[in-house]
Amino acid sequence: MSYDIQKIRADFPILRRQINGKPLIYFDNGATTQKPQQVIDCISNYYLHQNSNVHRGVHTLSQEATDLFEGAREYVRQFINAEETNEIIFTRGTTESINLLATALKPWIVKGDEILVTAMEHHSNFVPWQQLCEKRGARLKIVPINRNGELDLEFLEKMMNPYTKLLALTHVSNVLGTINPVKKIIKIAKDKGIPVLLDGAQAIAHTKVDVQDLGCDFYAFSGHKAYAPMGIGVLYGKFNWMRRLPPYQFGGEMIDEVTFEKSTFNELPFKYEAGTPNVEGALALETALRYINETGIDAIRQHEDKLLAHAETKLSAIEGVRIIGTAKQKTAALSFVVEGIHPYDVGMLLDKMGVAVRTGHHCAQPLIDFLGLPGTVRASFAMYNTKEEVDLFADALVKVVSMLK
Ligand SMILES: Cc1ncc(COP(=O)(O)O)c(C=O)c1O
């Protein structure tokens, strides 16, 4: 079946908006994606027909809501091919997933231990580990990248030693678009007995994720970067890990038995889901993932790869534009700078022409410092973007450059 871009676009009502009198060209998908009508309807249907708290009511609405909520968990399991449904923990997003894990791993990290992260991490996969290391007297080691924005695997391997307790790295870089060769990296780490967390925030909507095939111990992602609403995300954690680790937050739902003296804790995944969860978010996440599946993740990847290649060709032809991140394996995100012009000014003027891009350090300050830049402009693509939009964006950029030079 051919990729029916017009049908896809028709599902996303916001794409019909005008910005400053121009049709919206939304290229800030790395920050958050737009939502199809199906996802919007899912949320309102939940409140129209099922709204009730889950896991605790004997009444019909509560049971229906619980079934839908647990059904969403099972769908997420299938989507990332986890072995067990109880390995899927619902969180607010990638940031909370990683903080949850960093808190749960705290007792396991002792003075002298080492945690490896890469130079291309988002603050979400950097600051929690930096904090943990500071608190426990452990060392945070940073795996460097080369000029193209790729990791050197031999060097990475040399950085691993018997003190290495965790490797936490991004599947896809939000700044450079680099797709890290995570399967290979995980194999190297696993051969040395080192567990691996993948930050999948920028991967989940763009490339097939199969956690069993990858062999990772933990995988974190946010729904809102995959056409679902904000405030819902996932931490996948292997059963044998999560069963042994302590809870993250305390309160309702996560307990087994509570007395004035002592509390015992619930089974997975509920041990990690204290309080009332984001039920409509989980249902909408299922709807969004179904939408991706129906469109086909491979077809989406192919479409976005074509957009990226076209955008790279167009931008390379504009004098003064320098693309940041030229890894062999890239997806959906194109960062660039315009010599002599601040990224913020470029972003502001593009917005006047209807083009939404991201500017700044993209929550990856250490990386931007390492690259010696004031920030970048980032155009990031999603399944609904078109080649014509890339052309209009490139034309707009030519105008911006001529105005600011
Ligand atoms: C690579 C990466 N990791 C983590 C995050 C944090 O995601 P969230 O803000 O949804 O928790 C982002 C968001 O931009 C990201 O790009």
Q: Which domains does the chain have, with CATH numbers?
A: 5-30+296-404 (3.90.1150.10), 40-293 (3.40.640.10)
CA 334 to chain centre: 16
Report pLDDT digits (tens) over 123-174. Answer: 999 999 999 999 999 999 999 999 999 999 999 999 999 999 999 999 999 9
What's CA 226's distance to the chain center, in Å? 8
Give the model confidence (pLDDT) of 274-331 as tens digits: 999 999 999 999 999 999 999 999 999 999 999 999 999 999 999 999 999 999 999 9
Residue 330 structure tokens: 């890239």
CA of 398 to the centre of ligand 1 (A): 30
pLDDT digits (tens, 9 = 90+) for 41-85: 999 999 999 999 999 889 999 999 999 999 999 999 999 999 999
Asked if the model's pLDDT at residue 1 lies above 80, the reply is no
Mutate to test the pocket of ligand 1, among 33, 91, 92, 95 (most ligand atoms within 8 A of CB): 95
The pLDDT of residue 56: 80
Provide the pairing of β-strand 139-143 with 114-118: parallel
* Region for residue 271 given its phi and psi (left: phi exceeds 0; alpha: psi -120 to 50; beta: otherwise): alpha
Q: Would the CA dihedral through 212, 217, 221, 223 be positive or negative?
A: positive
To test the ligand 1 pocket, which listed residue (219, 363, 365, 380) has its Cβ within 8 A of the most ligand atoms? 363
Average pLDDT over residues 328-354: 96
Known catalytic residue at 133: no
Which ligand 1 atom is the nearest neighbour of the CA of 222?
Answer: 10
- Ligand 1 centroid–CA 401 distance in Å is 30
Question: Cis ω on the peptide bond leading into residue 269 (within 30° of 0)?
Answer: yes
pLDDT of residue 57: 81
**pLDDT value at position 309?**
98
> Which two tokens mark 56?
């605790």
Distance 404 CA to ligand 1 centre (A): 31
Confidence class of residue 178 from pLDDT cuts 50, 70 and 90? very high
Q: What number does the ligand 1 atom closest to the CA of 124 have?
A: 4
For the whole model, what pTM was predicted? 0.98
Q: Ligand 1 mean position to 318 CA, how many Å? A: 30
Give the Cα separation of 379 and 394 in Å (integer): 11
Q: How much is the pLDDT for 353? A: 97
Residue 333 binned pLDDT confidence (cut-offs 50, 70, 90): very high
Bridge partners of residue 323, in order along the sequence: 336
Start-to-end Cα distance in the chain? 46
Kindly give the distance from the C-alpha atom of residue 118 to the centroid of ligand 1, in angstroms, as a whole number. 15
pLDDT of 363 > 90? The answer is: yes
DSSP state of 29: T
Ligand 1, atom 16, lies closest to the CA of 174
Rounded Cα distance between 21 and 287, Å, is 32
CB-based pocket (< 6 A), ligand 1: 93-95, 122, 124-125, 170, 174, 199, 201-202, 222, 363
Residue of 171, 174, 198 to test ligand 1 pocket, by largest number of atoms within 8 Å of CB: 174
Identify which of 308, 299, 301, 303 has the alpha carbon closest to the alpha carbon of residue 327.
308
Does residue 405 register a pLDDT over 90?
no
